[in-house]
Every structure is written in structure tokens, then in C-alpha cells.
Amino acid sequence: MPLKFPLGVRFITHSLPCTHLASSMNSAALIYSFRAVPVISKALPSRLTCLGLCSRVSFSTRPEFGRRGEIRASKSLIEDEAELSDWVSDLRTSSVRGKFTSDEDEAVQERVRRNVERDDGRGPPRRGREGQADRFGVSRRGKEGEVDRFGGSRRGKEGEIDRFGDSNRRRTEPVRNNRFGDREGARNGRVQGRSGESSFRGRNERNVDSGFRRERGMETNKGLGKQTRGLRQEEEDSSDEVVLGGIDDLLSEVSGDDDSEDDEVFVGKVVKGVEADMPRTDTAKTSDSYLSKTRFDQFPLSPLSLRAIKDAGFETMTVVQEATLPIILKGKDVLAKAKTGTGKTVAFLLPSIEAVIKSPPASRDSRQSPIVVLVVCPTRELASQAAAEANTLLKYHSSIGVQVVIGGTKLPTEQRRMQANPCQILVATPGRLKDHIENTSGFATRLNGVKVLVLDEADHLLDMGFRRDIERIIAAVPKQRQTFLFSATVPEEVRQICHIALKRDHEFINCVQEGSGETHQKVKQMYMIASLDRHFSLLYVLLKEHMADNPDYKVIIFCTTAMVTRLVADLLGQLSLNVREIHSRKPQGYRTKVSDEFRKSKSIILVTSDVSARGVDYPDVSLVVQMGLPSDREQYIHRLGRTGRKGKEGEGVLMLAPWEEYFLSSVKDLPINKSPLPPVDPEAVKKVQRGLNQVEMKNKEAAYQAWLGYYKSQKMIARDTTRLVELANEFSRSMGLDMPPAIPKNVLGKMGLKNVPGLRTK
Ligand SMILES: Nc1ncnc2c1ncn2[C@@H]1O[C@H](COP(=O)(O)OP(=O)(O)OP(=O)(O)O)[C@@H](O)[C@H]1O
């Protein structure tokens, strides 16, 4: 279809022909074609640059999409698709759970490599401004002349001083390998430091004010030979961004469809004029506001939905709802990016319900009723939550049913439940959904009725770990459907491959200013750099401070793996804190119970692996602590996004060891500032030591193995395996162990760590 462009406002589009992809479902073909992209970008740099729309657009030269046979472990290894980080460590370290294949290894390595590549050329991490006090600032400064109790070497010689620098004596350990049996306190001392506070402003005021921006989707050229034309050059001049002032502009743009084809690139068009049946709306102008001034009843939605919305207490639409609803109601496919906690779930559910209402009533009543809306979420918690939100919106739609299919329950039980409770809306995790497609009779036929496919946390679902399942799912639903992809993060890699799910003329609706805009201004982000042996004490002090300042505290602590999560939860339990834990090794019933409890409670701490990183909507989380390296920038943003939801305030602390500091370069455009280390008094250190003493040895051993497995997957760290083992042994000492736990030889073999000095085998 021809496209025209008014006044140089252009939407650059790019993709493969959808039909080609859909018919072949061959990611390798897709992948291969993208290798031509850098060539075009080099050949036509200025032309593409001046058309730049997206504030973080780059041509990927990364080979991750060019690999065949990538992807994730089989379903039997990962029951819940969310648990990539758990999976990385557990799979590598457990001989019981299965073989770690080279393909899986590759998927992990790709993830790591992306981090590394992002690190390149980004310069030093952002530092806090001097002289600005914050909660870790002036009040935390030690008195003149006081010695930092951690100031000296943390790694005293064996038998000379302990690792907290406080004693030459060490008693016989009550627990094997324990180094903290001496009960000696550390020397008094304070840690000094300064902190900065960022009043970060976006670099594109227009974009901030407008609340959202829309790009025409990655429309395709007419064949593989030309498909790269529409790809965009990395933005160099943000002033070229098309910024829409509000929904009026957006609606007017939707109405234009007299497109023309450009010689060099495929572009879209902004057409002025609002369609008669569309409402006039007024987007809130505050930069960090998640609410618009647009009411739901300004849109042609079912009165029953509107009643339910009213009951839910939603007065106006959020910015992402306001931005996406008119486009979706017009029948378009949408890729939407909006900050964490800004109502994306309702944004895709409301129009999905409209699709069910419009579907033939007879089919809705039948026992084997077609599934009209299929929502795919990466985690069980998220799927359950989305179903609960759907039920809220369906309060008065008595004839529309919602079902959830997730891992962690027996397949036959779920099959029976689906039989007994037919539904038009199905919310599922990818692995379990694939199971049903393959093993539940009649299920594939029911999927033939799908009119709407939603990929929540789309970037995660299209990532290496899930893509094969997603491709299988897409192949199981009709091509004639509407598809919505939603996430708070949409890396360029995802922009480039989203065609596997979306139509060529889809709309990319971006409500987020790149960089600082990706996180909430009201969430204060800090990072701490301290050697591993200080992390547990620092965590304890940090929590105590936070609890003292916030009586209704609600804290989430993210750990790198399931077993490290268990260790930290055990420790905090020993320290008499009100703590809960969620990770993949806990049964689903337990996970659901704890999740519900945490949602409703105050004065509580949740220690979790990345199963809680994305999408989970716990209200009023006051602090998010991330201990150790997040798997990537996106994961950092999603984890942080568990606080500051719905425009509230929050705090985030990233706790890294000095050798993990390189991660900061991948988030240097976010307003994250260095925090001084809070002073840790000797009493606190002793308490933590005692707490660690009481943690079961087998949990420490499991944490050590898992830790080693996780960091083995971090290329920057793992490329020197001797160093990796040294660091793992440092972690072992931080748990109070004199000697690192022995690891079975076959496990070490699977981890690729055979014969590395410093490891003990059994
Ligand atoms: N229009 C609205 N007004 C007020 N609250 C709303 C509105 N729409 C949704 N919410 C509420 O906002 C909260 C956050 O929504 P949701 O969980 O969908 O966020 P999200 O954008 O998907 O976040 P994440 O990126 O973390 O998944 C939920 O409690 C939801 O019920």
C-alpha cells in the first residue's frame, strides 16, 4: 500500500513479510535476513538517521538471532517458564534435574553477551552528585577518626584474623565449615560515604510532556531482498522524533491510511483529523504521571465493563490505556511499551473483552467453546494475576469465563478443570500451554477460535529462553487475529523480531522516554559497592534502617538464584525479621499462598528469585533490593518496577561486589546513584554471624553451587574460571564457611569447571 508523509514526519517501518514468516514459522529464515541490516545502515546512514524516531534504535550486529538450535531447556527441565535464573543455576549445578545442553548454554551465553555488548562504549557509571544528602548521606557519616570496620582486608590469613577483621581467635565451629563460631564482635567502625540525588530530566521535553509516542509498526517491504530498507538507524538527533501531543493526534494518525511507498524506506503517515466516533481526550501533562484525564466511558466499551471499572475504582485511564485503546479498537495489532505499574494489564484486557463480546454468542455457550482471547504470561504468578484482573473486569459479564493454565499443577487436573469450566479467555504460561496444545484432546481445535493473542512481558517471551514455545503457540492460533505485545521494556532486538507475532502494519506505541524515562522519577535508585563478605551485614542494616523509617514497610529482595534466595530468607528469618520466600523450588501452592499474603500485608519482607521480577503487582512496596548481578538491564528495570507502582514513591538499592560494577554501564542512563555504605555496628555483624551459623549446612552448600552456576553463566566473570572459583569461595566465606563445599564431579563437568583450582570435589 502506498504511503505518503506530511512535512517530513515519518514513521520508519521494517519487517519481513508477515505471510512469509507465518507460513514458514522458521525463525532461522527471519534471523538470517536481519544480518543484512548493518550493511544497509552503513550504506544509508544519513538518510536513515534523519528519519530516526525511536530514541534507542540500533542495528543489531549481534548474531543471537542468527543462531539455529538456540533456545531453552525442554519443558521437563523448566516447568515454570519464568524461572530462567533459577534454571540457569539449578540446571548447571544439579545432576538430578537434567543435562545442560550446549543449546541451553548458548541461550544463557547470549543473554550474558547482550549485557557485555551493552557495556561497550557506554562510559563510566553515573555517580551521585556531591554534597546532596539523602537517607544514606549525612546521617550515615561516621565520626572523624573512626575506622571503617571493613576498611582493612576482609580476607585475613587463615587462623590469624577472621574475615570480619575482628578476632584472632576462632572457636571450634558448631557447624561444619563455619567460620563464625567465635562470637567475637568486630571492631567498632563506621563507613563513610556520600550520596547523590538525581533530579533527572528527560532529554526530550516534548516527549515527556506528551505522555506517549506512537510509531507506525515495522511494516515490511515486498520481499527479503528489500526488507532491510525500513530499518532504522540509531537515533542521533532526538529532535527528529515524532511526538504526539495527546490522543487527538494519535487518533487522527490512526484514521489516515493512504500510504505510499518510499524509494528508500517504508514509512507511515500522520494524518490530521479526528474521526467522529472517537472521543476527545486530554492526556495529563506531568512527566511522571501514569494517569490521563480520559474517562473510560469516552470509548465505545461495553456498559457492563464500564460498571466493573467503576467498581474497581478506576476513575480515568492510565496513559498507556488511553494510548492503546483507540488503536486496538480499530482492529490494529499493537506493540506497547509503558512503564512498570501503569496499567498495561487492563489496557490489553478491556479490548480483549470487547472481542469476546463481538464473537458469535452460540460458540460462547458451547461446552467446547472456542478460546477467543489467549493471553500468554511468562510466570505463573503473573498469569494468575492477569486472570484475577480479567475477573474484576468481567464482574457483570456472567457469560464470559476466564481460565488459567500454568505449570506446577498436574496436567490431567487442569484438563478436567478446563472441561468443567469452559472459557473464552485463557491465560497461560508458555510451557504449559504448549503441553495442552500437544496433549489435551480438543484443545488445538478450541484455539482455532482465537481472535486476540496477547503476549504480556513480550520482550521476555520473545527472548531466547521462550521463543521456540512462542513460535509453537503462534502456529497454533489463526493468522487472522489481532495481536498485542506489551512490556515495560522493548529492546531493539525485540523490535526487530516482533514480526513473528505481529502484522506488518502494527503500531508501536511507546509511552516511555528512553533512558531515565524508563524508570519512575519517584523511585530513588541507589547502588552500593561492597566486597561480598559485607553484603549480608549491609543488607541487615539496610533493612533495619528502612523498617525504622517506614513502619508499614514492604520490601522485596531479589537474589540471583533460587538457592541463594533460600539462603537469604533463612538468614533473615534467623535474624527475626518478618520474611517470606518465593522461588522455583517452592511448590506452586506455597508460592500462591505467600504471594497472596505478601500482597495483602504490611511490615513484611519477601525474598525472591526472578520469578517475581516481572509484572507482579504488589501494592505499596517501599523498597526493592537487588543483591548481586541482575541478568540484564531489562531485568533490573522490571525488578525495580515492583516499587513505585501507580505513581507512588519507592526506593531501589542494587548491591554489587566491586567485580560486578561493570553492570552499571548498562544502566548508566538511568538515574541511579552511588550510595555510601551505611555504618554496620559490631553488634549487627555478630548477629548476622550467629544467624549464618544457624542456617542449615545443606542450604549453604546448595547456595554455593547455585551461585557458582549463575556466575558461570555471566561471561564477563566466567571467562577466567580460576577467578570465578576464587569469587565463589569468597561467597562461601561470606556464608561463614571455612572451606568451600565439595561439589560432585559430574556436576562440575556439566558446569565446565572440571579441574579448576580452588574447587573441592566429591
Ligand atoms: N485506570 C486505572 N486507574 C487506576 N488504577 C489502575 C488503572 N488501570 C489499572 N490500574 C491498577 O494499576 C495497577 C498496576 O497495573 P498493572 O499490574 O497492569 O501494571 P503494568 O503496567 O502491567 O506493570 P508491569 O510492567 O510491572 O507488569 C494494578 O493494581 C491495576 O489494577
Ligand 1 geometric centre to CA of 658 (Å): 36
Any ligand 1 atom below 6 A from CB of 378: no
Q: HEC states along 281-297? A: CCCCCCCCCCECCCCHH
Query: pLDDT tens across 653-706, in order?
Result: 999 999 999 999 999 999 999 999 999 999 999 999 999 999 999 999 999 999
430 and 573 assigned to the same domain = no
538 and 408 assigned to the same domain = no
Ligand 1 geometric centre to CA of 322 (Å): 13
Any ligand 1 atom below 6 A from CB of 604: no
> For 194-208, what is the mean pLDDT?
31
Any ligand 1 atom below 6 A from CB of 238: no
Name the residue at shortest CA distance from atom 11 of ligand 1: 343
The residue range of the domain holding 648 is: 519-695
CA distances (Å), 419 to each of 368, 390, 398, 422, in order? 8, 20, 18, 6
Question: Cα separation of 58 and 490, whole Å?
Answer: 12
Q: HEC states along 638-662? A: HHHCCCCHHHCCEEEEEEECHHHHH
pLDDT at 656 (0 to 100): 98
666 and 624 assigned to the same domain = yes
Any ligand 1 atom below 6 A from CB of 324: no
Any ligand 1 atom below 6 A from CB of 343: yes
Name the residue at shortest CA distance from atom 3 of ligand 1: 314
425 and 472 assigned to the same domain = yes
Pairing label, strands 213-216, 507-510: antiparallel
ipTM over cut 0.90 = yes
Domain boundary among 451, 477, 510: 510
Question: Cα separation of 436 and 441, whole Å?
Answer: 8
Query: What is the per-residue DSSP string for 18-39?
Result: HHHHHHH--HHHHHHHGGGHHH
Q: Reply yes or no on whether the pLDDT at 287 is more than 80.
A: no
Ligand 1 geometric centre to CA of 618 (Å): 10
Query: pLDDT tens across 315-327, in order?
Result: 999 999 999 999 9
553 and 496 assigned to the same domain = no
CA distances (Å), 543 to each of 546, 604, 669, in order? 5, 11, 27
**Could you tell me if residue 401 is inside a domain?**
yes
Name the residue at shortest CA distance from atom 12 of ligand 1: 343
493 and 547 assigned to the same domain = no
- Of the two residues 93 and 324, the one the predictor is more confident about is 324
Percent of the chain clearing pLDDT 90 (strictly above): 54
Is residue 216 classed as helix, strand or coil in its secondary structure? strand
| Nearest alpha carbon to residue 543 among 533, 532, 554, 534 | 554
Residue among 395, 617, 634, 643 whose CB has most ligand 1 atoms within 8 A, to mutate: 617
Q: What are φ and ψ of residue 407, in 5° steps?
A: -70, 175
Q: Reply yes or no on whether the pLDDT at 89 is more than 80.
A: no
596 and 497 assigned to the same domain = no
CA distances (Å), 288 to each of 157, 284, 646, 720, in order? 52, 9, 10, 43
Question: Cα separation of 112 and 122, whole Å?
Answer: 16
> What is the value of pTM for the model shown?
0.68
Domain boundary among 464, 490, 510: 510
Which atom from ligand 1 is nearest to the alpha carbon of 617?
17
Structure confidence at residue 217 as a pLDDT band (50, 70, 90): very low
Structure confidence at residue 420 as a pLDDT band (50, 70, 90): confident
Name the residue at shortest CA distance from atom 4 of ligand 1: 314
Any ligand 1 atom below 6 A from CB of 435: no
Structure confidence at residue 289 as a pLDDT band (50, 70, 90): confident
Ligand 1 geometric centre to CA of 388 (Å): 12
668 and 686 assigned to the same domain = yes
Based on the structure, what is the number of domains in the chain?
Answer: 2
**Could you tell me if residue 202 is inside a domain?**
no
Any ligand 1 atom below 6 A from CB of 488: yes
Q: Reply yes or no on whether the pLDDT at 476 is more than 50.
A: yes
Whether the CB-CB separation of 498 and 27 falls below 8 Å is answered with no
pLDDT at 516 (0 to 100): 63
Ligand 1 geometric centre to CA of 617 (Å): 7
Ligand 1 geometric centre to CA of 683 (Å): 42
pLDDT at 407 (0 to 100): 83
Ligand 1 geometric centre to CA of 361 (Å): 30
**Could you tell me if residue 281 is inside a domain?**
no
Any ligand 1 atom below 6 A from CB of 646: yes
Question: Cα separation of 723 and 736, whole Å?
Answer: 20
Any ligand 1 atom below 6 A from CB of 615: yes
CATH label of the domain that carries residue 655: 3.40.50.300
**Could you tell me if residue 449 is inside a domain?**
yes
**Could you tell me if residue 497 is inside a domain?**
yes
Name the residue at shortest CA distance from atom 2 of ligand 1: 314
| Nearest alpha carbon to residue 241 among 12, 6, 515 | 12
365 and 481 assigned to the same domain = yes
Structure confidence at residue 515 as a pLDDT band (50, 70, 90): low
Grid cell of 353 as nine digits: 473483552
Any ligand 1 atom below 6 A from CB of 342: yes
Structure confidence at residue 184 as a pLDDT band (50, 70, 90): very low
**Could you tell me if residue 97 is inside a domain?**
no
**Could you tell me if residue 218 is inside a domain?**
no
Provide the mean pLDDT of the chain.
70
Name the residue at shortest CA distance from atom 15 of ligand 1: 343
Q: HEC states along 36-70? A: HHHHHHHHCHHHHHHCCCCCCCCCCCCHHHHCCCC
Structure confidence at residue 408 as a pLDDT band (50, 70, 90): confident
415 and 452 assigned to the same domain = yes
Which spans in 171-318 are helix H? 205-210, 247-255, 303-312
Which atom from ligand 1 is nearest to the alpha carbon of 314?
3
Which atom from ligand 1 is nearest to the alpha carbon of 338?
21
**Could you tell me if residue 163 is inside a domain?**
no
- Of the two residues 650 and 284, the one the predictor is more confident about is 650
pLDDT at 361 (0 to 100): 67
Whether the CB-CB separation of 316 and 291 falls below 8 Å is answered with yes
684 and 558 assigned to the same domain = yes
Ligand 1 geometric centre to CA of 13 (Å): 30
Ligand 1 geometric centre to CA of 615 (Å): 9
Question: Cα separation of 614 and 635, whole Å?
Answer: 8
454 and 350 assigned to the same domain = yes
Query: pLDDT tens across 145-173, in order?
Result: 232 322 223 333 322 222 222 333 333 33
Question: Cα separation of 531 and 745, whole Å?
Answer: 29
Residue among 296, 316, 342 whose CB has most ligand 1 atoms within 8 A, to mutate: 342
Any ligand 1 atom below 6 A from CB of 618: no
Any ligand 1 atom below 6 A from CB of 293: no
Any ligand 1 atom below 6 A from CB of 702: no
Which spans in 302-426 are helix H? 303-312, 319-329, 344-358, 361-365, 380-393, 411-420
Domain boundary among 642, 662, 695: 695
Any ligand 1 atom below 6 A from CB of 639: no
